[in-house]
A and B are shown apart, each in its own frame.
Chain A
């Protein structure tokens, strides 16, 4: 390419006639999208010709060009003309499908025997013998007349779910055979029904301070608001749940083994924006700095580790407020609670977070604090301590002048039973 004279470069660099006011983001964006015309476009171009910074902004904000798509046109392949090529491809595909069908049918017929044999050949899985595993697999292989709708394929591999074969004539069998040995996991069970027998009071977190009251939108009116879509529990999440410590007292951060999800979070998949918006904590973004905060086990503060299918969450009560961390305690964000609730204790056990407060308040959240459900109970006093051994078994302690009560649950907090009364 021919170069321009150095004098031209010099004068272009210097800019002739001074630099006009920088166009705002609206103008520059409109320019980049060819939404400007006439005089306005000329004015922006004149400024860009003089202003290196604005030129860079335009260059940086331009969308990346899509990679060029080159269409492959077979010509004269093996001497065939393109129109014949097309039919040849169709014919070849038909041959492949037929061959696959013929191969699959014998495979499926042999499947039960093979699977049992496979089970026998599996390494011992602990206390259960290989024979019993094979028996279990063989039993599972018997097609159930009232089988579930979901397609599953039997396998004796214990690290996957044990599933059952559909009826003999369903197309799903063919599909399963074609895709063997892949396993189609069963659909996750529906979320548990609402807690019985207590009546639920659902309400959203209170608006954060500073949010304009009486705004045209009405703000948060007290109706249930789901700031984040609920995520169904998937097989992978359950696997993580099984392996992760259910309720870890993070006394020393360095002792906690990061779960797979924590590693994913550490790889940079945090989501500051959703937290800012959904938790309505304006300073949260500005405060997201990677400062390692020591775990605080002083009286009244506990750090519990709860897993979510996005990132590991750590919870604490600090200075009378509920806080959550997505980065193992490096940074903390305030979590809004319903108005009037004074939190005293917190426990996180995926996928739930429990908060105990004064005057017998017990709150439960299934979406990392976006919405809260109050769980009524017969305990008296402030809920000063709560913990869960696993998803089902938990314990809470209440206190009032002259008496401490200990309540326990065996069903994930659906019902609570008084275990002890002291005082």
Chain B
């Protein structure tokens, strides 16, 4: 096959990966498969990492995107049930799982047309991770981006029809009311942490993930994450305190300032009005 057809990668590498991927089984020739490899190589900044790609999965995805019957048979055999299972584990509910999986199928097969050609989402799979993992991620993205937002809207509409009255949404917590010195000290302490440490803290303390969940996403043992969380919590507290005291704040004051929950600073108008009314001997407002 002419190397010029895929100038970004060497013909030898392309042919090696083409053979390894058994791309011909899915109706692809070396040039077509090479084009897919080129796209991935561009995102990787070179062809050095192409050998680490899941080339078999890549060939299957490209074959499906091209409409190859055999590729779809293989894809169905391998992934049909897994897709439904993944949707069930994401939504925790059968009906939503089916709806979620069905919504993905059309995109995978290519119900969208561009310039008269069917566009399949499978064409965007790059082989960096496994095809199964990519499918799970696509499902999760769809769930987070579309379905949850829709469910919130539908739920509101249903409740309105049922006659529920809604209060105005509470004002967002006034984050900006955090003492600037505390904010700066905290930002500095967080910036000194590695990205992975910040991710662990966010996942554990903000999202409420279990240690096991966090460990699974990082590919480490749960006990490793447990020790790390403990260590990071102590370190963060100590570092923020250190920065605040260096900024001139007293230790006790710094400790109190660190623990202020900015959500408590939101003005409670009703309570304020009641206090004022009592002070003036007036009946308290309803």
Most buried by A among B67, B98, B139, B237: B67
Among B6-14, B151-159, B187-195, the stretch in contact with A: B187-195
A55–B260 Cα gap in the complex (Å)? 26
| A1 interfacial by beta-carbon distance below 8 Å | yes
Residues of the A chain whose Cβ atoms lie less than 8 Å from the Cβ of B73? 227
Binary contact track A50-64/B, C-beta < 8 Å → 1, others 0: 101101111111111
Cα distance A42–B185 in the bound complex, in angstroms: 23
Contact B129–A30 (Cβ < 8 Å): yes
- The answer to whether the Cβ of A282 comes within 8 Å of any Cβ in the partner chain is yes
The answer to whether A299 has its CB under 8 Å from any CB of chain B is no
B44 → chain A closest CB, angstroms: 9
Secondary structure call for the A interface:
helix
Bound complex: CA A141 to CA B29 (Å): 61
Report the minimum CB–CB distance from B270 to chain A (whole Å).
24
Q: Are A11 and B190 in contact (CB under 8 A)?
A: yes
The stretch of B160-168, B211-219, B245-253 in contact with A is B211-219
In which size bucket is the chain A interface?
35 or more
Contacts of B140 in A (CB 8 A): 56-58, 60-61
Which residues A175-212 have CB closer than 8 A to chain B? 210-212
Does A25 make an interface contact (CB < 8 A)?
Answer: yes
Q: 1/0 contact trace for B186-210 toward A, CB 8 Å?
A: 1101110011101101110111010
Query: Quick check: is A272 within 8 A (CB to CB) of the other chain?
Result: yes
Q: Assess the A3–B216 pair: CB atoms within 8 A.
A: no
Task: Determine the distance from Cα of A43 to Cα of B198 in the docked complex, in whole angstroms.
Answer: 12
9-residue interface stretch from A32-40, A123-131, A340-348, A373-381: A32-40
A288 in contact (CB, < 8 A): yes
Contact A29-B190, Cβ < 8 Å, known A35-B129, A217-B27, A274-B76: no
Query: A2 near B: Cβ within 8 Å?
Result: yes
Name B129's contact: one of A32, A42, A55, A276 (CB within 8 Å).
Answer: A32
Question: Interface readout for B101-141 with A: 1 if CB under 8 Å, 0 if not?
Answer: 11101100111010011100000111011100110111111
Q: Nearest Cβ in chain A — how far from B285, in angstroms?
A: 31
> 1/0 contact trace for A213-230 toward B, CB 8 Å?
001111110000101000
Q: Which residue of B lies closest to A16 (CB)?
A: B187
Q: Is B202 in contact with A56, judged by CB distance below 8 angstroms?
A: no
Asked whether A246 is an interface residue with its Cβ less than 8 Å from the other chain, the reply is no
Q: How many residues of B contact A (CB 8 A)?
A: 95
CA distance A1 to B214 in the complex (A): 15
CB-based contact B195/A218 at 8 Å? no
A277-B72 CB under 8 A given contacts A8-B236, A217-B67? yes
User: CB within 8 A of B191: which of A4, A16, A25?
Assistant: A16
Does residue A14 face the partner (Cβ distance < 8 Å to B)? yes
Residues in chain B near residue A97, CB distance under 8 A:
none
Contact between B28 and A216, CB atoms less than 8 A apart = yes
> Bound state CA distance, A32 and B133, in angstroms?
8
**Is B261 an interface position by the 8 A CB rule?**
yes
Shortest distance in angstroms between A277's beta carbon and chain B's nearest beta carbon?
5
What's the Cα separation between A58 and B219 when bound, in Å? 12
Residues of A within 8 A of B95 (CB): 268
Bound Cα distance A28, B141 (Å):
10
A92 within 8 Å of B (CB atoms): no
Q: Which of A25, A62, A270 contacts B134 (CB 8 A)?
A: A25
Report the nearest B residue to A46, measured CB to CB: B195
- Is B175 among interface residues, defined by CB-CB distance under 8 A? yes
Cβ 8 A contact of B98, one of A13, A58, A268, A274: A268
Which residues of the partner chain B approach A53 to less than 8 Å between Cβ atoms? 144-145
Partner of A5 from the list B105, B130, B216, B258 (CB cut-off 8 Å) is: B258
Instruction: Give the distance in Å from the alpha carbon of A165 to the alpha carbon of B118 in the complex.
Output: 59
Residues of A with C-beta under 8 A to B226: 1
Given known A-B contacts A32-B137, A61-B136, A277-B72, A12 and B205 have beta carbons under 8 A apart: yes
Q: Which of A53, A58, A65 has the most CB of B within 10 A?
A: A58
B161 to chain A, nearest CB (A): 20
Q: Is the CB of B216 within 8 A of A62?
A: yes
Distance of B47 from chain A, by nearest CB (Å): 16
Interface residues of A in 14-30 (CB under 8 A from B): 14, 16, 24-30
- Tell which of B102, B129, B236 touches A26, judged by Cβ atoms closer than 8 Å: B129
In-complex Cβ contact of B106 among A6, A45, A286 (8 A): A286
A290-337, CB < 8 A from B: none
Contact B134 A277, beta carbon cutoff 8 Å: no
- B57-79: contact bitstring with A at CB < 8 Å (1 yes, 0 no)? 00000010011110011001000
Instruction: Out of B66, B111, B186, B257, name the residue touching A8 (CB < 8 Å).
Output: B186
Q: What are 7 of the A-B contact pairs (CB < 8 Å)?
A: A3-B233, A4-B233, A26-B134, A29-B133, A46-B195, A52-B207, A62-B216
Interface of A with B (CB < 8 Å)?
1-14, 16, 24-36, 42-43, 45-46, 48-50, 52-53, 55-65, 210-212, 215-220, 225, 227, 268, 270-274, 276-277, 282-283, 285-286, 288
Nearest 10 interchain pairs by C-beta: A217-B27, A29-B129, A49-B198, A45-B195, A285-B106, A60-B140, A30-B128, A30-B129, A5-B258, A61-B140
